[in-house]
Amino acid sequence: MLHPRSSGEEDDIGWLVRFVGADVILRPLLSGWQLKSSVKLSGVLAEIADLLGTEAAIKIATARGGTTIFIPANPDDEHWLVMLLGRDTATALCKHYATYGSRGFGTRIHIPFGPTSTREAKAALVRSLIRDGKSSTEIALTAHVSERTVFRQKQMMREQDEQRR
């Protein structure tokens, strides 16, 4: 088995963070072309970003997007949130969501993919490469999308520029 988990807790991804390192897991999203102040978040991710900052919201979406997580009132040092965000940031998040429920203190929330979804990530990469002046063919090969996708993205960017004028 690749992941020797010591606890049976569903939400524990700490083994993965320890195994490959948080920087490896998060590198695609924190590589500069994606984590910018212009990243639009909504719902729970926007709430987390308002509380802890955009980077923390993106880290959580990257690690657990598309799943429902349990946020304990008092996470221990081995909890995946502490390992991912650091003790102070994880504690602030847990205090924000602390409630009393059937499993004790804490709550379950659904974490959307947000900008970490494959489609959104590829679109952000394509836009970045367009702004860098790369050719449509080079962009298609780099982002693993069709040239038609690149053309559509260029058209959308032109339309957005025209609306801003």
Report in angstroms the alpha-carbon separations of 71 from 74, 82, 119. Answer: 9, 11, 27
Structure token pair of residue 81: 């949130």
Map residue 107 onto helix, strand or coil: strand
Average pLDDT over residues 106-127: 84
Give the residue extent of every domain in the chain.
Answer: 14-115, 118-164
Model pLDDT, residue 25 = 46
Kindly report the backbone phi and psi dihedral angles of residue 113, in degrees, each rounded to the nearest multiple of 5, phi listed first. Answer: -65, -35
Strand partners, 72: 106
More confident residue, 155 or 38: 155
Task: Indicate the range of 14-18, 148-152, 159-163 predicted with least confidence.
Answer: 14-18
| Each residue's pLDDT tens digit, 1-32 | 233 333 444 333 444 444 445 454 444 444 44
**3-state SS track over 18-75:** HHHCHHHHHCCCCCCCCCCCCCCCCHHHHHHHHHHCHHHHHHHHHHHCCEEEEEECCC
Percent pLDDT > 70 in the chain is 73
Q: What is the largest CA-CA distance in the chain?
A: 57
What per-residue confidence (pLDDT) applies to 19? 46
